Amino acid sequence: MNKYFVVTLKLLVFLLVSAPLFSQRTGFINSEMIRNKLPDAKLAEQRCQTVVDEWKRELKSMEDKEESLQFEIRKNRLIWSDTEKQKADKELKDLQNRRLSYATEKFSPSVDSEYDRLIMQIMGPVEEKIFAAVQEVAAKEKYDIIHDQSIQPLAYVNFRYDITLKVLKLLGVDVSVEEAEQQRKIESDARNDEDRRREASQAPRGRSRGTSREAPPARTEQNLNPDGVNENEQIQIRR
């Protein structure tokens, strides 16, 4: 199955490259985790495995026939006639060729094997569904490239840019437990502490609405007579 998955996700990375080289926003997914948690993917893999197990049983049956005939040839080599020996050797050769041809037809990676066609038929629709979900999340989050950590291990990743759980949520999978774990990883990453401090320092600072300046005291008018004496005080003195 890995052959088809690798081709699909390499195509995904290629299609998501839409921005100039130096302005690319990069994220990543874990496609193996997506398949392990997606019910449709698990069901499709079980169907594939059932067919593959049947092929393996057929190959085992062929091998058992070869071993049985080889035992008979070794046991009767001294008492068989030349005609009987030739007949047994030819039968053994035919069994070996038949088994090799069957294995090549079913599993050979160098030809268009029945295994590859089986994967395309059963897993193809599931892979297309995952592919579409990754594209939708990447477009919404404005990513230009998405790496698959299952295929290409990364030396360091900041889980702020892991969209695996967002893809699973879009596909209808409950990932509440995994989201809590991812948040813990994000908070424990020192790089994210630096980003938060930088964002806080760049935030605009405005005057708090809770504070206000005190109004200056009101000025009291005074009535002065022509001599410059306050008339109110003069009245009080006369009284």
Q: In this predicted structure, what is the pLDDT of residue 194?
A: 72
Q: What is the DSSP string of 71-135?
A: HHHHHHTTTS-HHHHHHHHHHHHHHHHHHHHHHHHHH-TTS--HHHHHHHHHTHHHHHHHHHHHH
List, in sequence order, every beta strand (DSSP E) within the chain: 26-29, 145-148
Q: Which residue has the higher pLDDT, 233 or 81?
A: 81
Q: Phi and psi of 206, rounded to 5°?
A: -115, 165
3-class secondary-structure state, position 230: strand
**Taking residues 132-156, what's their average pLDDT?**
93
Q: In this predicted structure, what is the pLDDT of residue 190?
A: 86
Report how far residue 204's alpha carbon sits from residue 24's, in angstroms, rounded to the nearest whole number.
Answer: 27
Please check the confidence at residue 236 and state whether its pLDDT lies above 60. Answer: no
Please check the confidence at residue 237 and state whether its pLDDT lies above 50. Answer: no
| pLDDT tens-digit map of 25-37 | 999 999 999 999 9
Residue 161 tokens read as: 């840019």
Q: In this predicted structure, what is the pLDDT of residue 225?
A: 52
| pTM higher than 0.75 | no
| pLDDT tens-digit map of 96-131 | 999 999 999 999 887 789 999 999 999 999 999 999
Report how far residue 7's alpha carbon sits from residue 117's, in angstroms, rounded to the nearest whole number.
Answer: 14
Q: Are 192 and 160 in contact (CB under 8 A)?
A: yes
